[in-house]
Amino acid sequence: MTRSPRIALVADDLTSAADSAAPFRSVGFPARIELDALASDGALGSDAGLPVGVTAVDVDTRGGPAALAGARTARAVARLAGADVLVKTMDSTVRGHLGVELAAALSASGRSTAVIAPAFPAEGRTTVGGVQLLDGVPVHDTAFARDPGHPVRTADLIALVPGAVPVGPEPGPGLAGLLGRARYVVADASHDRDLDRLVAAVPDPGQVLWVGSPGLAEALARRFAPCAGPPSGAELVGGGDRVLVVVGSLHPASWAQAARLGADALVTVPLDPPDGSADEIVAHTERQLTDRGVAVLHGPRQLAAGSVPAGLAEVAARLAARRALDALVLTGGETARAVLRALGARTLLLAGQSQPGIPLGRLDRPWPLPVALKAGGFGDRDTLARLVDLFTSPTREEH
C-alpha cells in the first residue's frame, strides 16, 4: 500500500471505538470518532467519503437486543466497506453480542475471512487455546461473569463463534492458507509480539475483516505508522482547574478508582431525583468543582446496568451549560455516549492516549472540551487520579 491508508473501525460502544482508534492517533494518523454516523445513508468507504487516517463509528449496540446489534453493525460496516483496513472492534473480556455482530459484519464487509484477535496484553487480557483470559484466568471465572449488564457465560471463542479455526501465537504461512477458506480464524496471543506476528502473516491486510481490541489496534498501528511519526503533543488536550469525572460503570475497578479521589469528591445522582433535587445536585457539584477542582458523579451502586447513565448525563449537561467544568473524564461506554449526546457533541477528535486503552481528545461541541474515556474495567486504583492530574497539570504532554 503506497499511499496513506483509510482505516475504519466499527465498535459496539463508545469506549471501544475510542480506545481502538487512539493507537493510530499516537503514531501520527488523524483520528476521529463519529457519534452520529448512522444518522445518514450512503457509503463512506470511498476516496471521496472517507478521509485518510482513522474513522471510528460507535453503533451503540452492547446494551440492546441481539437483532438490533446485528442490523446496526451490518449497516455501519457496509458504509465503511471501501476502507483500506476495516476493523470490527470487540470487548477484550468478550462482552456483548459477539457471534451476531461478527456474522453481520463479515457479510457486509465484502471480505471472506474475519481474523479474530481479542488479546490486550497491556491490560492482562490474553488468548490461549482459543480461550480469553484475564491475568491468566478464564474471563468466565472472573468478576466479569457477574457483570450486571453483560455477564460472561463463556470465554471460549471457538464456542462463541461456530466454525472458527484456531491458530497459535506463531501463525506463519499457515494463516495465509486459511484466508478465503475459513470464515473465522481465532488467533492466540499472550504478548504484543504475537499480535505483530499475526498482522505480518496476512499478506494483504485489506483482504480480511480484522476483529479485536486495542491490542490488535496497536499492532495494526505499528504496521502502518506514517513516516512522519507521532504528533508533537502541541495540540493536546489541555484541561484547566475543574475536572468533572462521570462514573456510570458498575465494575468494582471503577468504584475503587472513584473512591481514590476522596469521599468528599463523590456526588451521588439518584435514579429518579425528587422534585428540586436535581437543582441541588447541580449546585453542589458546581461548588465541588470550584472548591476542590474535581467532582465525581456516580449513580446508586446497587442499581442494574442501563438505569444510571440518563441521570448522570442530565447533570453533566447542565454543568456544561453553566461552563462549570474545564475537562471531562467519562467511565463506561454507555455512560460516555449518554453524556456526549446530552452535550450535543457529534464528533470526538482524538489527540492520543494517556495509556493503552484510555484515549484523550476534544469534543466539537458545546465547545472544544477536553475529554478522556475509560472502559469500566480498565486501569488500576490510581487511574482516575492520574487522569485528573493530567488535565490539571501546568505541563501536559501526550503519551
Per residue, the 3-state secondary structure of 200-223, as one string, reads HCCCCHHHCEEEECHHHHHHHHHH
> What's the average model confidence in pLDDT over 136-150?
90
Q: Which of 296, 300, 290 is nearest to 387 (CA)?
A: 296
How far apart, in whole angstroms, are the C-alpha atoms of residue 316 and residue 15?
18
Q: Give the single-character DSSP code of 273.
A: P
Predicted pLDDT of residue 196: 97
Question: Between these two residues, 234 and 28, which has the higher pLDDT value?
Answer: 28
- The rounded Cα 300 to chain-centroid distance in angstroms is 24
> What's the average model confidence in pLDDT over 141-155?
88
Q: How would residue 318 be classed by pLDDT, with cut points 50, 70 and 90?
A: very high
Predicted pLDDT of residue 352: 84
Given a cut of 50, is residue 232 above it in pLDDT? no
Instruction: Give domain 6-224's CATH number out of 2.60.40.1930, 3.40.50.10840, 3.40.50.300, 1.10.3470.10.
Output: 3.40.50.10840
Maximum mean pLDDT: which of 226-240, 243-257, 264-278? 243-257
C-alpha cell at 133: 483470559
> What's the average model confidence in pLDDT over 122-133?
96
> What's the average model confidence in pLDDT over 265-290?
85
Q: Which CATH architecture has domain 243-392?
A: 3-Layer(aba) Sandwich (3.40)
Given a cut of 60, is residue 322 above it in pLDDT? yes
Predicted pLDDT of residue 238: 56
Q: What percent of the chain has pLDDT over 70?
A: 88
Q: Residue 88: phi, psi to the nearest 5?
A: -100, 115
Residue-range domain boundaries for the chain = 6-224, 243-392
How far apart, in whole angstroms, are the C-alpha atoms of residue 192 and residue 158?
22
Q: State the sign of the Cα–Cα–Cα–Cα dihedral 270, 276, 278, 281.
A: negative
Q: What is the pLDDT of residues 206-216, one digit of tens each?
A: 999 999 999 99
Question: Between these two residues, 142 and 39, which has the higher pLDDT value?
Answer: 142
Predicted pLDDT of residue 164: 96
pTM to 2 decimal places: 0.82
> What's the average model confidence in pLDDT over 346-356?
88
For 39, 168, 266, the CA distances from 260, given in Å and listed in that order, are: 39, 40, 10
289 Cβ partners below 8 Å, 6+ apart? 242, 243, 244, 295, 319, 324, 325
Whether 21 and 56 have beta carbons less than 8 Å apart is answered as yes
10 Å Cβ neighbour count for 214? 30
Q: How would residue 39 be classed by pLDDT, with cut points 50, 70 and 90?
A: low
The whole-chain average pLDDT of the chain stands at: 88
How far apart, in whole angstroms, are the C-alpha atoms of residue 198 and residue 256?
35
Q: What percent of the chain is helix, strand and coil (3-state, nearest 5)? A: 35, 20, 40
> What's the average model confidence in pLDDT over 318-330?
95
Judged by average pLDDT, the poorest of 140-149, 275-284, 298-307 is 298-307
Predicted pLDDT of residue 215: 96
Given a cut of 50, is residue 47 above it in pLDDT? no
Given a cut of 90, is residue 393 above it in pLDDT? no
Predicted pLDDT of residue 376: 83
Q: What is the pLDDT of residues 86-110, one digit of tens each?
A: 999 999 999 999 999 999 999 999 9
> What's the average model confidence in pLDDT over 46-64?
81
How far apart, in whole angstroms, are the C-alpha atoms of residue 48 and residue 50?
6
Q: What is the pLDDT of residues 167-194, one digit of tens each?
A: 999 888 889 899 999 999 999 999 999 9
Whether 371 and 248 have beta carbons less than 8 Å apart is answered as no
